[in-house]
Structure 1
């Protein structure tokens, strides 16, 4: 089973960018996941168990390293990752 997750992290500290970037960098170290980041959120696509286990692991590591934070997540079954051609216009 595949899953798509949109996740946003809100560290409860003044210096919030390093905590967010660290979380994103660690997600990107998992080669079997597709991770797409934009200015508003990070999207993770892959096998349900792998995605959930990875989020569990990386959220815990984030709390242990940086302290309090809020994670806002949306989950939907299926792989809704955009295709390479998405956004291209017909000539």
Structure 2
């Protein structure tokens, strides 16, 4: 099953850009995921189990490295990446 996720991260600190950039950079290391970033959010597309495993791992890593942050996520079944019918 395919999954599409839209994520917005809001670090609760003054220096927020490094925490957001690191999260996005880490998502981009997974070659089996399609990751699209814009000024408002990051979208992740891929196989359900892989996407959920990556979200679990990378959100935890973010908390451990940068501390408190708010993650706003929307999940929808299917591959809704641009260019898909």
Q: Which has the larger radius of gyration?
A: 1
What is the CA–CA distance in structure 2 between the aligned matches of 1:52 and 1:41, rounded to whole Å?
Answer: 17
Matches within 5 A, 1:24-63: 24-63=24-63
Indicate the residue corresponding to 1:4 in structure 2. 4
- Please report how far the alpha carbon of residue 39 of structure 1 lies from its aligned counterpart in structure 2 after TM superposition: 0.1
Q: Number of aligned residue pairs: give it.
A: 84
Indicate the residue corresponding to 2:22 in structure 1. 22
- Please report how far the alpha carbon of residue 83 of structure 1 lies from its aligned counterpart in structure 2 after TM superposition: 1.2
What is the CA–CA distance in structure 1 between the aligned matches of 2:83 and 2:57, rounded to whole Å?
Answer: 28
- Please report how far the alpha carbon of residue 80 of structure 1 lies from its aligned counterpart in structure 2 after TM superposition: 0.3
- Please report how far the alpha carbon of residue 47 of structure 1 lies from its aligned counterpart in structure 2 after TM superposition: 0.1
- TM-score norm. by structure 1 comes to 0.91
- TM-score norm. by structure 2 comes to 0.97
